[in-house]
Structures are given as structure tokens and as C-alpha cells.
């Protein structure tokens, strides 16, 4: 669930002027999600549904209709394969942009890839409004780390390695997609024990159980 500035929000239906994954756009969004997941699989890149995309699929069996984009986790160990995946995605008509870490925040290193942003193509070189954010997560000791947001809304996050060391698959829209191990436990960590109750607003910098406080080193058990 990403805003254009990198913030994650579970938004309410009053956001009618924004591009939303509602009944008009969801079929095309699912096709895009399926195609990107297929490219990653062919290129040997592990991925997993995450954030709002995972929440909607597990809780409601759909993309959240008030969400404005989709979310995947990918992993730093597969970075050497990113180039081939990007070329295949671009050959398939998608627009791909990399965002790099702007600071070193151990174990995250300045200049390494923080996120792949994938848009559908509207015409020519113009990108459409459908966006898939792929957050690059790095394993260090017993956790996976990543960062979201820009300089003004930066947040470093981590989850225990058990969620990503082994991935599960679930069925969604007639296809199988990879998800973190124990996806319900993962969602409870990120969204709280009441994750099955829809919330109109969720702030990525304040409400996420994966946030590491400034100067902190521990992650949730």
C-alpha cells in the first residue's frame, strides 16, 4: 500500500479522485501482478506478496478496493538477477524505475537498491497509473531489513527471518502466489492483533509493527 511518496496507508473509500484498485481496475491489476510474479519466477527471483496486497488477499480474497497500488517483497541476494528481470518487464510493456538507498543505515547500504517501481505503460514512454512497488529486503543475522519513505518520512523496518526464509503459496484469482511463511502471523506483526478488522487509515511511519525505532536494533519476536 504505497502513496506516491512511499507511505503505506489503508485508505477509506472517500479517496474517490485517486486511482484505486476497485472493481474497475482490479482485473487489470491482478493481470499485472500475475505477469510480474511470472517474470520474477522465470528469472530466479524470490518474491512474496506483502503489505496491503497481502492483507487484502488473505483477509478478503481481493485487492483492497481503497488501495492505490500493489506491494511485493523481493530480496537483496537476488540483486544480480534484477537486470534480466527488468529487461523482460520492459519488453513486456512495463516501465521500471529503481530507487536507491540514500543513506547507510546498517545493514542497509547507501547506493544499493531500495525498491523497484513498476508501472503499466499508457502510451509511448508515458507511464500509467497502475503501480507495483517491490521492496528489496536484506537478511542480516536473524531478521530481514528494508526501508520505506523519503528523507522526510523515512522508516527502517525488520521482521524475523522465519517469515521469509521459507515461503508459502496461496491461491488468489485462480493463480498461486508466494507469501511469507505464516502469513496470518506476519499480518498480525505488521498490522496488530486486530488486522482482520478494516481500518480506514494506517500510517506506515507510525503504525507498522515492523518499525525499528531510531537507534534500535531489535525486531518483534
pLDDT tens across the length of the chain (221 residues): 433 333 333 333 333 357 889 899 999 999 999 999 999 999 999 999 999 999 999 999 999 999 989 999 999 999 999 999 999 999 999 999 999 999 999 999 999 999 999 999 877 666 778 999 999 999 999 999 999 987 778 999 999 999 999 999 999 999 999 999 999 999 999 999 999 999 878 888 889 999 998 766 556 55
pLDDT at 2: 37
CATH fold for domain 26-191 = Beta Polymerase; domain 2 (3.30.460)
**Going by DSSP bridges, is the β-strand pair 126-140/70-75 parallel, antiparallel, or unpaired?**
parallel
Burial 178-187 (b: 16+ CB within 10 A, else e): bbbbebeebb
For the chain, the domains span 26-191
Asked if 63 and 70 count as a contact pair (C-beta separation under 8 A), the reply is yes
- DSSP conformational letter for 152: S
Q: Residue 219: what pLDDT? A: 60
Instruction: Specify the 3-state DSSP secondary structure of 8.
Output: coil
- Residue 36: all three cell numbers together: 510480474
Query: Is omega for the bond preceding 107 within 30 degrees of 0, making it cis?
Result: yes
Amino acid at each position: 500500500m504505497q502513496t506516491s511518496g512511499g507511505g503505506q496507508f489503508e485508505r477509506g473509500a472517500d479517496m474517490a479522485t485517486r486511482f484505486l484498485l476497485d472493481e474497475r481496475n482490479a482485473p487489470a491489476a491482478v493481470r499485472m501482478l500475475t505477469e510480474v510474479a511470472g517474470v520474477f519466477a522465470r528469472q530466479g527471483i524470490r518474491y512474496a506478496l506483502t503489505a496491503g496486497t497481502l492483507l487484502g488477499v488473505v483477509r478478503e480474497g481481493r485487492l483492497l478496493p481503497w488501495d492505490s497500488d500493489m506491494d511485493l517483497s523481493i530480496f537483496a541476494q537476488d540483486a544480480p538477477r534484477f537486470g534480466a528481470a527488468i529487461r523482460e518487464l520492459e519488453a513486456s510493456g512495463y516501465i521500471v524505475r529503481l530507487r536507491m538507498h540514500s543513506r547507510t543505515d546498517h545493514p542497509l547500504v547507501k547506493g544499493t537498491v531500495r525498491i523497484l517501481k513498476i508501472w503499466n505503460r499508457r502510451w509511448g514512454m508515458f507511464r500509467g497509473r497502475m503501480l507495483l512497488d517491490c521492496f528489496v529486503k536484506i537478511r542480516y543475522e536473524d531478521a530481514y531489513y528494508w526501508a520505506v519513505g523519503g528523507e522526510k518520512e523515512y522508516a527502517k523496518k525488520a521482521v524475523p527471518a522465519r517469515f521469509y526464509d521459507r515461503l508459502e503459496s496461496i491461491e488468489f484469482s485462480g493463480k498461486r502466489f508466494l507469501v511469507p511463511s505464516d502469513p496470518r502471523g506476519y499480518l498480525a506483526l505488521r498490522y496488530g492483533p486486530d488486522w482482520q478488522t478494516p481500518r480506514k487509515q494506517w500510517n506506515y511511519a507510525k503504525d507498522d509493527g515492523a518499525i525499528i525505532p531510531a537507534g534500535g536494533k531489535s525486531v518483534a519476536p
